[in-house]
Structure 1
Amino acid sequence: MRLITMRWRAVAPLLAGLLLGGAVLSGCNKGYQDQAQQQDSRAMSRVMGTASEGYAKVEPGAALQFPEDHLPHPRFRQEWWYLTANLTTQSGEPLGLQWTQFRIALSPDEPESSSPWATNQLYMAHSALSFQHSHQSAERWARGALAAPQGKAAHPQGAQDKTQAGAMGLPLRVWLDNWRWQSQAASGPNSGLFPASLQVSEEDFAFELQLDSQAELQIQGDKGFSRKNAAGTVASYYYSQPFIRVKGKVRHKEQWLQVSGNAWLDREWSSEFLSRGQQGWDWFALRLDDGSALMLFQLREQENKAFFSGKRMYPDGSGHPLALDDISLNVKDWQQTASGRYPVAWQLELPGESLSLTLEALNPNAAMNLSIPYWEGPITIKGTQTGVGYMELTGY
């Protein structure tokens, strides 16, 4: 579950300014830049509306196909590749990190222009590194079109990656500048998604990870059709891999630290926005010490009860949805941050799963103070079972 559907109306004016402002996103010369700006202006005026006419629809009963569904779905308005990880250093210090790449279609159709700089695809990427007493985050934007040459550092895969951002190929490759996911096989477990590497580099932090999983992919919702309201009129296609082994290194305070642990990958795509009556959501990815994983989110409604969805999952590929009338989720503590006041401790009761869990932020100040503010960071789990996980909070 990700923030882009809820916060699109807030970010659309910013995108318009960036696109119309020029070189930050387009990375091209003045003549082509003007042409791209005119196209992006028309596209932005259309996408800022709430209607989804012309985009592909999320429909129940459409079976997910692998490995094809690891790749972009450009006929849908938005999608994301999203990884969170709970790790420890060699000295035993806990930390978390996240990387997300969003693809946003500014119009249902590709531009008619034959210019290599013309595109209707926009990419945004977020990353963060969270320790108990520090939290660093970063954001990048790029248009999915030809970028001006900026040296080898801008295109780490070489001449074949002439665009500043994108996702393509089997093995899968997802990149924005020098942030990049690279799968290393076109077939095998997880339909070739793993093993993979992930590299993110910023001035203040960086990470280089090796990722592997032999577990089956977990299909969320009803065979991949994930409802975002009770009526099912807002939905996404959604699958996960909650059982990923991680090793690698992170750069923190100018020092490289060896790390290991576990990660969780989510993939979603859709064309619908959340309704105006939905205030925000709270999303949890829990990894329990019995070896199971639990995904849970609630969409908070202004006038109705929150809408819940969740699933308990196991490494052998099995799993079952949570009984929605069996879920009790209540706030225990709040944290004021620069971008808002967030609930950073929760009590989760799932009697049908024999679970009574207290969920607490490792670092309550893990607010993502980016162009779209939200809270996201690692959590600890105590109660009838223990474990670690990740939490995302929006709309506060």
Structure 2
Amino acid sequence: MHLIEKDVEINLDFSPLKPISLIGGNGKPDNLYYYSFTRNTVQGQIKTANGTENVIGQGWFDHQWGRDYGLMTGIGWNWFGLQLNDGRELLLNEQRSNKSTKTFSPMANLIDKKGILLFTRDVAFKELRYWQSPDTNANYPIEWEILIPEFSINLHVKALFPNQEMPIIGPLQAIWEGACILNGEETLPNNKIRSLDGNGFMELVGYLL
């Protein structure tokens, strides 16, 4: 990946650590084609006026495309790409109306350590805390409780820091998109409880009225 913006140049190489994941199990969960590489080794350089910094870490590569794009019809979404510290990932999403609090088409994708994907629509999202942008006055839910009964997983997800709003060219004007952290628990088949933690990325679209 090569990006140049004003006085910053970023060069990053992504190397997948798992096979490609077809989101929804078939790569087309909600009238859009969708695949992800949910865990990658990332390394490269960031160049600024202060010099060049070598960086290395882990990343997520997401690709979604198609003609039935919800933004054109007043649909936003709450999206989470979460990397658990035990080597698994969760891709979670629900769509929402830009003009009301109604949500629909929830989904949860659990990718195991070998890259096998499990899919369910049985997932519930609950907003716990909001942050109001001083620039746009949009109220974004930046802390969540997420329950996935089919996977016996309960999560608490929150923004790493509140102000991660991004200006966007076009009618959207701005979205909230940034880093988050998580903790939670999973009930195992033997009824023992396993603690979960990790980090990820959260995208909140359609909150600027």
Same fold (TM over 0.5): yes
2:78 to 275, 282, 288: 282
In the other structure, the counterpart of 1:245 is: 41
Q: 2:114 matched to which residue of 1? A: 316
Pairing of 1:307-386 with structure 2 (within 5 A): 307-322=105-120, 324-325=121-122, 327-337=123-133, 338-339=135-136, 340-371=138-169, 372-384=173-185, 385-386=196-197
TM-score, length basis structure 1:
0.44
Gaps of 5+ in 2: 186-195
How far off its partner does 1:375 sit?
A: 0.9
Choose from 15, 20, 23 the match for 1:212.
15
Cα distance between partner residues in 2 of 1:282 and 1:387: 19
Q: CA deviation at 1:257?
A: 3.2
Relative to its length, the structure with more helix (as a share) is 1
Q: Which amino acid aligns with 1:287?
A: Q
Q: Secondary structure at the match of 1:352?
A: helix
The alignment's C-alpha RMSD in Å is 2.3
TM-score by length of 2: 0.81
Mark the CA change 1:275 to 1:241 in structure 2 (over 3 Å): closer, same or farther.
closer
Residue-pair matches, total: 190
Alpha-carbon offset, residue 295 of structure 1: 0.5
Q: Name the CA shift for 1:213/1:366 in 2 (closer, same or farther; >3 Å).
A: same
In 2: Cα distance, 1:275 partner to 1:265 partner: 21
C-alpha change, 1:369 and 1:277, in structure 2 (3 Å) is closer
Counterpart of 1:310, as a letter, is: A
1:359–1:381 Cα contact (<8 Å) kept: yes
Moved more, 237-246 or 348-357: 348-357
Letter of the aligned partner of 1:363 in structure 2?
F
Report deviation, 1:249: 2.8
Cα distance between partner residues in 1 of 2:42 and 2:23: 23
Distance 1:253 1:269, change over 3 A: same
Superposed counterparts of 1:101-116, under 5 Å: none
What's the counterpart of residue 32 of structure 2?
Answer: 236
| Distance 1:375-1:251 versus aligned 2 partners, 3 A rule | farther
Instruction: List per-residue Cα deviations over 1:87-113 (Å, max 9, x = no partner).
Output: xxxxxxxxxxxxxxxxxxxxxxxxxxx
The one-letter amino acid paired with 2:205 is T
Residue 209 of structure 1: CA displacement?
Answer: 1.4
**SS at structure 2 position matched to 1:386:** strand
Bigger Cα Rg: 1
Question: What SS does the corresponding residue of 1:306 show, helix, strand or coil?
Answer: strand
Cα displacement (A) at 1:356: 1.9
Q: How far off is 1:223 after superposition?
A: 1.5
The 8 Å contact of residues 25 and 117 in structure 2, kept in 1 or not, is answered as no
SS of the residue aligned with 2:70?
coil
Contact (CA 8 Å) 2:168, 2:174: kept in 1 or not?
yes
Contact 2:143–2:156 (8 Å) recurs in 1? yes
| Whole-Å separation in 2 of the counterparts to 1:350 and 1:271 | 30
| Runs of at least 5 residues in structure 1 that lack an aligned partner in the other structure | 1-197, 228-234
